Amino acid sequence: MGDFYTKGKRCMFMGEYNHTIDIKGRLIIPSKFREVLGDEFVVTKGLDGCLFVFANPEWHVFEEKLKVLPLTNKDARKFTRFFLAGAASVEVDKQGRILLPGVLREFAELEKDVVLVGVANRIEIWNREKWEENTAFDDMDDIAEHMSDLGLGI
């Protein structure tokens, strides 16, 4: 269950896929996601303990935003380091798999069962147990009430 759509060079990912990582650290990327990502894209540390996956055009947009953060701001430096130090360009093999670098697998505690989730302009890769813990969605009514403060009116 999942899908995506593209608008110009910007892309939109959605859906949830369950997969496994093999003993060598390889992960199959769902074909629907590969159609947008292409043969090479960027994987980096994400927030909430997952990994973020960006198509190259989206990664370049994100990099540009990081470049303009003030070097004199300590939080901006940490934020930039967090995303760039762990970033890796990965290539899809003939079987539709990528090799996730060990440092990224360790960060996200990815050992076997994982969930790939399309989240607007990126894909998140989660340890399945963490995904289930973090997505109880019990408090969605409360969260939805506060989204208008962020400019999202439904």
User: Smallest Cα–Cα separation from 101: which of 53, 57, 56, 37?
Assistant: 53
Residue 7, pLDDT above cutoff 50: no
**pTM, two decimal places:** 0.86
- The pLDDT value given to residue 9: 45
Tokens 């070097």 locate to: 71
Q: What is the mean pLDDT of residues 20-36?
A: 94
Residue 42, pLDDT above cutoff 60: yes
Tens-place pLDDT, residues 122-152? 999 999 999 988 776 666 777 777 777 777 7
Distance CA 102, CA 22 (A): 12
Tokens 């292409």 locate to: 38
Q: What is the mean pLDDT of residues 7-29?
A: 84
User: Which top CATH class is 2-128?
Assistant: alpha beta
Is there a contact between 123 and 108 (Cβ–Cβ < 8 Å)?
no
Residue 4, pLDDT above cutoff 70: no
Q: What angle do CA 5, 50, 79 make, to 5 degrees?
A: 95
Long-range CB contacts (< 8 A, 24+ apart) of 57-63?
Answer: 57/9, 57/10, 57/11, 58/10, 58/11, 58/121, 58/122, 61/10, 61/121
Tens-place pLDDT, residues 81-128? 999 998 999 999 999 999 999 999 999 999 999 999 999 899 999 999
- The pLDDT value given to residue 3: 40
- The pLDDT value given to residue 144: 74
